[in-house]
Amino acid sequence: MISTWSTAAGRTLRAVRGASAPVTYGLIVACGLVFALGPASGLVPGYGSGDALLAAQRTYFRHWGVVPAELFDGPAGAALTPATALFVHGSWVHLLGNMLFLFVFGVMTEERMGRVEFTLFYVGCGYLALLGYAAANAASEQSLVGASGAVSAVLGAFLYLFPRARVTSLLPFLFFLPLRFPAWVVLPSWAALQWLAAGRASDGPGVAYLAHLVGFGLGFGYAWVRYGRTARVKAAAAPVTEGERQP
């Protein structure tokens, strides 16, 4: 069993190193492994079941996630949680939704930025997106986890760099028929939905729409300042399924 896992891990690492966007694929693999080994996946018997599993999940999310009330008034180590929270997800749907968007939009963005810059961009914007949400909800005791602040930044940068790239969206009011639209139509529409949802969001647990908006704005602004008008590329079509699930 151990040798099988070692062989699979070795193949995965070789595939990541040889890919055109190794950082994007590496982030997807890292998030997948962290989730699989955590209590939310249900794959590790050691966390128990029932109430014991729920308690383990709360402790896990509180330790690795962002708790706004502790971020500003708690121990110094809490300052690291906006970075660690980027690799922690609360459910399979949460994980798969974020990784789908990262896969679709991250590859072309990484190829345009380069590996080192894309890594710093992803982590930096993700950190600031979660920090912005925490600052706006400084009294909240709810744990915040997920990569969608960073992924939203990738979407914002993609919009600036590849505004004419055509993406496939599933529209519910058209019976989920796959239709292709330019990125400058799909992504601003997505951001507008996040804005509307953020205005209706409560203080309880759920989707951190504000983190999505902060990340999207940071990503678009970074690409605008960093690359200017000469950066825009007429890109090939990129498929995507509409709808991010959780923060």
Hey, how many other C-beta atoms are within 10 angstroms of the C-beta on 16?
A: 18
User: How is the chain split into domains, by residue range?
Assistant: 2-239
Listed as ranges, residues in the chain with pLDDT below 70 are 1-19, 168-182, 184, 197-207, 229-247
Euclidean distance between CA atoms 137 and 148, whole angstroms: 17
pLDDT of res. 12:
46
Exactly one of 89, 94, 143, 148 is catalytic; which is it? 148
Tokens of 58: 């709360």
148 counts as catalytic: yes
Predicted TM-score (pTM) above 0.85:
no
CA 40, 137, 121, 186 torsion-angle sign: positive
> Which of helix, strand or coil describes residue 15?
helix
Predicted confidence at residue 73, as pLDDT, reads: 82
Say which CATH architecture domain 2-239 belongs to. Up-down Bundle (1.20)
Q: In three state form, how does the secondary structure of 62-88 look?
A: HHHCECHHHHHHCCHHHHHHHHHHHHC
Of these residues, 94, 140, 143, 212, which one is catalytic?
Answer: 212
Q: Are 149 and 130 in contact (CB under 8 A)?
A: yes
